[in-house]
Amino acid sequence: MRPLDPILYPFSLLYDGITRLRNRMFDLGMKKSINFVVPTIVVGNLSWGGTGKTPMVEYLVRQFKDYYCLATLSRGYGRKTTGFLLANEQLTAQDLGDEPFQIYSKFGNMISVAVGEERILAIPQILAEKPDTNLLILDDAFQHRYVKGDMNILLTTYQQPFFNDKIIPLGTLREDPKGAGRADVVVVTKCPADLGEEIIKIYRQQIRRFTSEKAIIIFAGLQYGRPYQIFTGESLPQEAAVILLSGIANNEVFRREVELKHKVLEVLEFGDHHKYAEKDIELLLAQIKKHAAQKPIVITTEKDAVKLKADKFLHYLREIPIFALPVEIKLKPEEEDALLSLTAKIIRDKRSTT
């Protein structure tokens, strides 16, 4: 037990009671969930951030963008705007939020990318502006029960699975682990490459305590690509001395991956959704100057890269060798088949009834 746990316990109990009451009201129909005509996939988690939602959304986009007129919808956490926005070339990460802007930067006009705090209002606006839309992916909407998804994908990390976590502020859970019962798929993310069958068995048993029998459980790793220059797109040709820069929920896996291939000189680590300021860039420049003899490069995440490319930083960063490390969800072939088969079936079933 941590020293502050006895003080935090009453707050955790109160939060748990409020979320249990809210979920009960939805279960009993006292609060209404709307199921839209368009097939809707919900991606989310039970905890606060850091489970790999954006790589999962991007994975689904890559799988289905060639077959459907697809739109993604996010709350747009951390943006300076409010209300509904549909991504376009004039909007920035400050307008859309880090993750939606990252998705738009990757896929552009191949899909529609929207943000809106009130998903129940944003979905009709997407359908009004993009009437050909026939598949929706909702990012971080597992707790947003006003929209009833046709498929609910719950993510939890290997490092901190929801069944070992506690309700905030004692832990990171936003609701009781029983909320996993709403999931059609549970994805254990950020799994190590050498994950053994015995550990998989234990995780399955623990997860199955909270899910329905028909829910599928899969284990996903992360596949990192070659770092690319954030302004030119040029790939990093070789190993290098590195200054690591990030503002994400959990830096552990990202840092470990970079350390496998590069000598890490310094780590500049900020909180999730960090809003970079000139003082941060000046700190970065100071670290580069400190290690000038080793000609360091900067490696950051794609999520951070979209913010660092803001106009106000261009006069600093144009001359700095700064690279983004791309990452994708990696599944075993049999688990990928199970996930995609279930997703395709749910989409077909929904479209056949509308």
pLDDT of 251 over the 90 cut = no
Question: In the chain, how many H helices and how many E strands?
Answer: 11, 14
**Sign (positive/negative) of CA torsion 43, 203, 162, 273?**
negative
pLDDT band at 353 (very low <50, low <70, confident <90, very high): confident
Supply the pLDDT for residue 53.
93
Strand 70-74's sheet: what is its strand order? 85-86, 112-115, 70-74, 135-139, 40-45, 151-157, 185-189, 216-224, 327-331
Answer for the pair 109, 71: CB distance below 8 angstroms, yes or no. Answer: no
Contact predicate 43/156, CB 8 Å = no
Q: Are 266 and 211 in contact (CB under 8 A)?
A: no
Q: What is the dihedral of CA 124, 125, 128, 129, to 10 degrees?
A: -150
Q: What is the pLDDT of residue 351?
A: 83
> Which helix (H) or strand (E) segment is 137 a member of?
strand 135-139
Q: Are 284 and 268 in contact (CB under 8 A)?
A: yes
pLDDT in tens, 215-246: 999 999 999 999 999 988 898 877 889 999 99
Q: What is the mean pLDDT of residues 315-338?
A: 90
| Strand blocks (E) in 209-354 | 216-224, 228-229, 241-247, 263-270, 297-301, 322-325, 327-331
CA distance 141 to 150: 12
d(CA 114, CA 248) in angstroms, rounded, equals 22
Residue 104 pLDDT: 96
pLDDT of residue 131: 96
The pTM of the full predicted model, rounded to 2 decimals, is 0.93
> What is the chain's mean pLDDT, rounded?
92
Joined tokens for residue 236: 């990093």
* 8 A C-beta contact, residue 247 and residue 304: yes
* CA-wise closest residue to 306 among 113, 51, 44: 113
**pLDDT of res. 310:** 81
313 touches 277 (CB < 8 A): no
For residue 354, what pLDDT is reported?
67
Helical (H) or strand (E) element with 115: strand 112-115
Mean pLDDT of 203-209: 98
Calpha distance 105→111 (Å, rounded): 11
Q: Is the pLDDT of residue 1 over 70?
A: no
Residue 332 has pLDDT above 80, yes or no: yes
Least confident of 26-40, 219-233, 238-252, 255-269: 238-252
| Token digits of residue 298 | 């900067």
Q: How confident is the model at residue 157 (pLDDT cuts 50, 70, 90)?
A: very high
Strands 241-247 and 185-189: unpaired
Average pLDDT over residues 93-118: 94
Instruction: Please state whether 252 falls in left (phi above 0), alpha (psi between -120 and 50) or beta.
Output: alpha
107-146: pLDDT as tens digits: 999 999 999 999 999 999 999 999 999 999 999 999 999 9
Query: For residues 347 and 135, is the Cβ–Cβ distance under 8 A?
Result: yes
Task: Identify residue 7 by its one-letter amino acid code.
Answer: I
270 pLDDT above the threshold of 70: yes
Indicate if the pLDDT at residue 2 is higher than 90.
Answer: no
**Taking 80 as the threshold, does the pLDDT of residue 10 lie above it?**
yes
Report whether 265 contacts 242 (CB < 8 A).
Answer: yes
| CA 244/CA 123 separation, integer angstroms | 38
Q: Give the per-residue pLDDT at 272.
A: 84
Q: What SS3 class is residue 139? A: strand
pLDDT tens, residue by residue, 180-203: 999 999 999 999 989 999 999 999
